[in-house]
Amino acid sequence: MSHGKLKTSLFLNYLVHGMALIIVAQNIKELGANWATPLATASYVLSGVGLGRLGAYLILGYLSDKIGRKQVLMLGMLAYFTFFIVSPFNHNVTIAYGLSILAGVANSAFDSATYPTFLEIGDKNKFASILLKAFISIGEFILPLVVASLHNNGMWFGWSFIVAAVIVLINFVTILTTKFPKQQSAIAEEVAQQSPFSVNKKRLIAILLGVYSYTSMAIMIWFTQWISLFAIDILHYDALTSHTLISLYSVGSILGVLSIFFLLKKEFSATKLLVLMSMISLMSLIVVTQVAQPTISMMAAFLFGFSAASGVMQIGLNLLIQLFPQNKGILTGIYFMFGSIASFTVPLITGKLSQFGIQVALQSNIIVAIIGTLAVIGIYFAYKTVHQTDNLSASREKINQIDQQIVGLLQQRFEAVTAVSEAKRQTAKPVFDPKREQQVLTKITSYSQSDKLAPHFKKIYQGIMDASKDYQTELNKIGGNK
């Protein structure tokens, strides 16, 4: 089954999810007016999303394994639908906070159900779920355009919410009638038992991936939260250049996802890719914070989006699930929970750091990027050593099988030698026949497909014939005593 319809719906879901991530911030002025709150209080409502995600990931991850992916996904879609349809009409700030929490819950339901489903669809490209990140970025790219065109045409801001609600609704009906792949826990357990990793190594990789989930999410939020202010206040760029930096970051992100998807399809090593991308992120971050030249800043912002927001977090999740395939849902929940801790703590941490200046606030992101890079380097080496031992044991297993065949053939050869020995004894011929040995060695050389190996084969055959002579001498002794 190709699951084309299912995949299309899942991708569309993430496009809407991308819109949901920024829809409140994009309409904050109008929403704030509805709630009759100052801007500072209005933006406080945004923190509800982080709270909802943090609280829901574990439960929904667990439910995704126990009850089913489809059910959890539909729950998430209902939650998003409610959020979109109620938000533009709501005039109460407490309800607005509740709706933000609901959006967070919807987000965790989507992740807990969708990523495991993608793995269970069993695509040839096991990293197909990385494209979900591209749809998030497209949603984040489209929404500001929709908001701006509504504004420019003097239309009601709430239409942006209604558009998203309608897509969710259509998708809900589609999902309702779509068959999901079978949950693969039984097969997965078997695979897990054959895993070449030791328990300790698995634990180490899991911890490093947990760290990476946090840092990879943190560096993105950190950057997007402070870059515009940094560009205006510290680098003294004009408003247009400063906002262009964020747009280039988004375009870089979409191109990054497509590049990663392509490279993984071409069997490029996932762990190598993580190291490479982390290093590019780190380097471009250093350039952004140290060089005050618009063109260079733009290139660095693009490269940062290309490397840091390119689905690297999703690669980490794929590695984690491959390591522990039994409970995909709960693992996805735990993994993204570390990410949502980042979305919760980064605004707090950077808020404190900004007391020392915006420069300090943005530059500290370099430390997070270094920690993330060290984590992926650790993961890379953990996989590398396993692959080596893995190859070694596979090759030795092959040698064992070949040896078994060789000994079987040697057995037959010695049986033939027994007959030769008997014939020679009857005609009183000597055991050693140098002419015949030379013949055998010449034939062996001609059988060999490699000139390099021929002398080694000759050596082996001389050994076989020496053993053959010893064996014949033994036979003659017994025969002579008869």
Positions touching ligand PRE (CB under 6 A) are 417, 420, 432-433, 436-437, 440, 465, 468-469
Are 417 and 465 contacting, i.e. CB atoms less than 8 angstroms apart?
A: no
Least separation in angstroms between CB 123 and ligand PRE:
56
The two three-digit tokens of residue 141, written as one number: 């790219």
Structure token digits, residue 290: 């140290």
Q: Are 332 and 130 in contact (CB under 8 A)?
A: no
Please name the residue that has the structure tokens 């950190």: 222
* Alpha-carbon gap, residue 306 to 230, rounded angstroms: 20
d(C-alpha 236, C-alpha 297), whole Å: 12
Distance CA 56, CA 210 (A): 18
Q: Taking the complex as a whole, how short is the minimal distance between the CB of residue 471 and ligand PRE, in angstroms?
A: 8
**Of the two residues 435 and 452, which places its CB atom closer to ligand PRE in the complex?**
435
* Residue (238 or 474) nearer to ligand PRE, CB: 474
CA gyration radius, the chain: 33
Closest CA to 315 of 272, 357, 283, 280: 272
Residue closer to ligand PRE (CB basis): 408 or 434: 434
Task: CB nearer to ligand PRE: give 403 or 422.
Answer: 422
Which residues neighbour 125 within 8 Å (Cβ) at sequence distance 6 or greater?
261, 264, 265
How far is 121 from 320, CA to CA, in rounded Å? 17
Q: Which is nearer to ligand PRE, 388 or 438 (CB)?
A: 438
> Taking the complex as a whole, how short is the minimal distance between the CB of residue 468 and ligand PRE, in angstroms?
3
Residue closer to ligand PRE, measured from CB, 299 or 475: 475
- Closest distance between ligand PRE and the C-beta of residue 407, in Å? 16
283 vs 440, which CB is nearer to ligand PRE?
440
Rounded Cα gap, residues 248 and 209, in angstroms: 28
- Other CB atoms within 10 Å distance of the CB of residue 160: 26
Contact of 145 with 81, CB cutoff 8 Å: no
Q: Closest distance between ligand PRE and the C-beta of residue 417, in Å?
A: 5
Question: Which CB sits closer to ligand PRE, 287 or 420?
Answer: 420
CB of 478 to ligand PRE, least distance (A): 16
Minimum distance, C-beta of residue 452 to ligand PRE, in the bound complex (Å):
24
Angle at 250 between CA 247 and CA 252, to 5 degrees: 110
Q: Choose between 367 and 467: whose C-beta lies nearer to ligand PRE.
A: 467
CA 36 to chain centre: 43
- Minimum Å gap between C-beta 449 and ligand PRE is 21
Nearer to ligand PRE, 25 or 440 (CB): 440
Please give the torsion angle defined by the CA atoms of residues 99, 105, 108 and 109, in that order, rounded to the nearest 10 degrees: -110
Cα separations in angstroms, 186 against 193, 261, 326, 327: 11, 28, 8, 10
Task: Give me the least distance between CB of 464 and ligand PRE, in Å please.
Answer: 6
Distance CA 136, CA 377 (A): 27
- Nearest distance from C-beta of residue 404 to ligand PRE, angstroms: 22
